[in-house]
Amino acid sequence: MLFHVEMVVKLPPDMPADQVADIKAREKAYSQELQRQGKWRHLWRVAGSYANVSLFDVNDNDELQEVISGLPLFPYMDIQVKPLCRHPSSIREDNT
Ligand SMILES: O=C(O)C[C@H]1C=CC(=O)O1
């Protein structure tokens, strides 16, 4: 199943710099592993903000919840999820 996910990162302004660096490094490693596995299909920065638009390809809602709640930045993000399905006018056969 494909999901459009928008994440807006809201780190506390008073979080110490070394803690910020650590959480961002762990987030990067976690997201890159999911990208290698093909579960995090697209990752785009939203220009002008500390936010991203992502496309996840996971088995079901439960797996999406598991993956997203494992993000090190999860406690510091507002997250919006939109489930996607095939558009009847799409010429793609493989949902890529
Ligand atoms: O920077 C972000 O948008 C938040 C998050 C998503 C992937 C990652 O490495 O950090």
Ligand 1, residue 45: give the atom nearest the CA.
Answer: 3
Q: What is the pLDDT of residue 94?
A: 74
Give domain status of residue 33, yes or no. Answer: yes
Give domain status of residue 93, yes or no. Answer: no
Q: What is the pLDDT of residue 5?
A: 98
Pocket around ligand 1 at a 6 A CB cut-off: 7, 9, 27-28, 31, 43, 52, 73
H helices present in 6-60, as ranges: 17-36
Q: Is the CB of residue 2 less than 8 Å from the CB of residue 57?
A: yes
Q: Please state the domain count of the chain.
A: 1
CATH number of the domain to which 33 belongs: 3.30.70.1060
pTM of the model: 0.94
Nearest to 54 by CA among 75, 25, 84, 29: 84
What pLDDT digit, counting tens, does each position of 36-94 carry?
999 999 999 999 999 999 999 999 999 999 999 999 999 999 999 999 999 999 998 87
- Specify the residue for token string 């928008």: 6
Give domain status of residue 90, yes or no. Answer: no
Range of the domain at 24: 2-84
Is residue 96 over pLDDT 70?
A: no
SS3 category, 68: helix
Give domain status of residue 50, yes or no. Answer: yes
What pLDDT digit, counting tens, does each position of 27-42 carry?
999 999 999 999 999 9
Q: What is the pLDDT of residue 93?
A: 80
Please give the ipTM for the structure prediction: 0.97
